[in-house]
């Protein structure tokens, strides 16, 4: 059995503008000073919001995360998949390949956004921040997704993601990594993590999957 795992932000969905606006808001509200949110988020290298908040405010990290999420989820957001994503997911789904989302977002938020973007129907599982004790780059979220999909051959599984944490999590879990370079804010960091494969467009992911036989 094989499966395809996907990261959410900057891989499936173009949520960067809304996320950066909320990050700048939370930094100003909690720390009282402006910040370049893109550079700040890039320094997190795909870690969780809580990881970033701990670095910024220490023991008060939960307040920072709460302010961020209240701002992000408390307003209308334009949630759109990247161009070419939906046809790729449709093709993989039609081929009967199980798929899951593995994200550092809370699961309710990830599920809500996938549904709003019209993509939720393609996934058998959504693994979010609140579904595991440890998080990417630890392999636990990947293992959780494989358990949900009943996928017991990691070498025939691919994880598509844009961040170093995605690539490291894949490696730590024994699955293949595909660096998604079409939406990342730090392609250099993704490549430094040494992914098994790279894709500059969603269509290239489909070509890799067929070429490498993940779906057979």
**Residues 31-57: pLDDT tens digits?**
999 999 999 998 988 889 999 999 999
Compute the distance between CA of residue 36 and CA of residue 23 in angstroms, rounded to an integer. 9
Q: What is the pLDDT of residue 214?
A: 64
Query: How high does pLDDT run on average in the chain?
Result: 94
More confident residue, 50 or 211: 50
pLDDT above 80 (res 213):
no
Of 40-44, 89-93, 170-174, 199-203, the range with the lowest mean pLDDT is 40-44
Above pLDDT 90, what percent of the chain?
A: 87
pLDDT above 70 (res 216):
no
Mean pLDDT of 2-11: 96
Mean pLDDT of 17-22: 95
pLDDT above 90 (res 211):
no
Mean pLDDT of 146-150: 95
Which amino acids are annotated catalytic?
Answer: 7
CB-based contacts of 24: which residues, under 8 Å, 6+ apart? 34, 35, 37
Mean pLDDT of 142-170: 95
Q: Half-sphere exposure of residue 53, counting CA atoms within 13 Å on the CB side?
A: 19
pLDDT above 70 (res 8):
yes
Q: What is the pLDDT of residue 1?
A: 52
**Residues 49-104: pLDDT tens digits?**
999 999 999 999 999 999 999 999 998 888 899 999 999 999 999 999 999 999 99
Choose among 116, 175, 170: nearest CA to 151. Answer: 175
């Amino acid at each position: 059995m094989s499966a395809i795992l996907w990261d959410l932000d900057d891989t499936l969905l173009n949520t960067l503008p809304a996320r950066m606006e909320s990050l700048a808001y939370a930094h100003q509200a909690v720390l009282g000073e402006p910040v370049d949110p893109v550079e700040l988020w890039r320094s997190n290298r795909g870690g969780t919001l809580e990881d970033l908040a701990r670095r910024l405010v220490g023991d008060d990290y939960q307040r920072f995360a709460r302010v961020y999420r209240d701002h992000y989820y408390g307003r209308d957001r334009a949630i759109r998949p990247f161009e070419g994503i939906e046809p790729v997911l449709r093709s993989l789904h039609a081929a009967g390949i199980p798929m899951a989302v593995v994200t550092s977002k809370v699961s309710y938020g990830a599920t809500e956004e996938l549904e709003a973007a019209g993509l939720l129907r393609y996934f058998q599982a959504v693994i979010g921040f609140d579904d595991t004790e440890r998080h990417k780059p630890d392999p636990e979220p990947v293992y959780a997704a494989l358990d949900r999909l009943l996928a017991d051959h990691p070498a025939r599984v691919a994880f598509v993601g844009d961040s170093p944490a995605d690539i490291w999590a894949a490696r730590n879990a024994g699955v293949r990594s595909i660096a998604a370079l079409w939406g990342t804010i730090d392609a250099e960091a993704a490549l430094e993590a040494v992914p098994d494969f790279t894709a500059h467009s969603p269509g290239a992911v489909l070509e890799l999957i067929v070429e490498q036989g993940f779906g057979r």
